[in-house]
Amino acid sequence: MDFYVLMNARRSVRAFAPDAIPDEILELAIRTAGTAPSGANLQPWHFCVVTSPEVRRELRAAVEAEEKENYERRFSEEMKNALTPLQTDFSKPYLTDAPALIVVFKENFRVVDGIRRKNYYVNESVGIACGLLITALHQAGLATVTHTPNPMKFLNDMLGRPANETPVMVLPVGYPAEGCTVPDNKRKKPAEIMTWI
C-alpha cells in the first residue's frame, strides 16, 4: 500500500528547477532500470545522460523542428484533439530547462565479432526498463515526462549511437519547478484495467 501511495503521487512534469542532480542519483536510477527482465537476458537497452547545456539546446532545436512538422502536417485531428487537454504544442522548453536528459535507445540487434545477432522481445524489454527508470527517478524525488519525438533518428548522430540502435524516448529529469502545476488527469479505476477470472 505504501508503494502504491508513492506511485499514485507520480505526475508527468513539464516545468523544472535548474538545480543540478547529483550524478550518483542518475547512475543509480539507470542501474535500477538495468535490473529489468529482458528477452534471453540480452538487455537490449542503452541510456544516454545529457547534461551539457549546449547539447541540450541542439537537441531541443532538432526536436522542435520535427514536432512543428508533426503538429502542422503529420498529426491527425483526432490525435491533436486527444492532446488538447494536456495543452502541449511543438514548443518543448523543458528539454533545456531540465538539468538532465536521459535518452533511451533500444538495441534492435547485436553485432558480435562482426556478425549480426538477433535480440529477442526488444520492445517489451526496453518498456519494462523504462518503467523501472521512471519509478526510480520518482523514488529519488525527481520528476520527468516521457517525450517521444518522431521521427528521432537524428539522436543517433547527435549522441554518437550506432545504427543498430533506435531512440525510444527522451526523459527530461529534474526537480519540479517551484509552483509548477500539472493537469488534473484522472486514472482509470481498477475495474477498468483488470479482470478477475
Helix (H, G, I), strand (E, B) or coil at 62: helix
Domains in the chain, ordered, with CATH?
2-182 (3.40.109.10)
pLDDT confidence of residue 141: 96
Predicted structure pTM score: 0.93
Helix axis angle, 23-33 to 122-139, nearest 10°: 140
* Segment holding 166, helix H or strand E: strand 165-174
Q: Is 139 exposed, middle or buried (0-12, 13-18, 19+ CB in 10 A)?
A: middle
Residues 86-136: tens digit of each pLDDT: 778 888 999 999 999 999 999 999 999 999 999 999 999 999 999 999 999
- Alpha carbons within 13 angstroms on the beta-carbon side of residue 25 total 18
Which residues are CB-neighbours of 64 under 8 A, at least 6 positions away? 90, 91, 92
Position 99, amino acid? P
Residues 126-177: tens digit of each pLDDT: 999 999 999 999 999 999 999 987 788 899 999 999 999 999 999 999 999 9
* Segment holding 172, helix H or strand E: strand 165-174
Choose among 123, 99, 98, 120: nearest CA to 110: 120
DSSP label at residue 174 = E
Separation between Cα atoms, residue 191 and residue 119, nearest integer Å: 36
Alpha-helical segments (H) within the chain: 2-8, 23-33, 53-69, 77-83, 94-97, 122-139, 154-159, 190-193
What are the cell numbers at 104?
533511451
* Segment holding 104, helix H or strand E: strand 100-107
pLDDT confidence of residue 145: 95
Choose among 3, 33, 1: nearest CA to 173: 33
Helix (H, G, I), strand (E, B) or coil at 190: helix
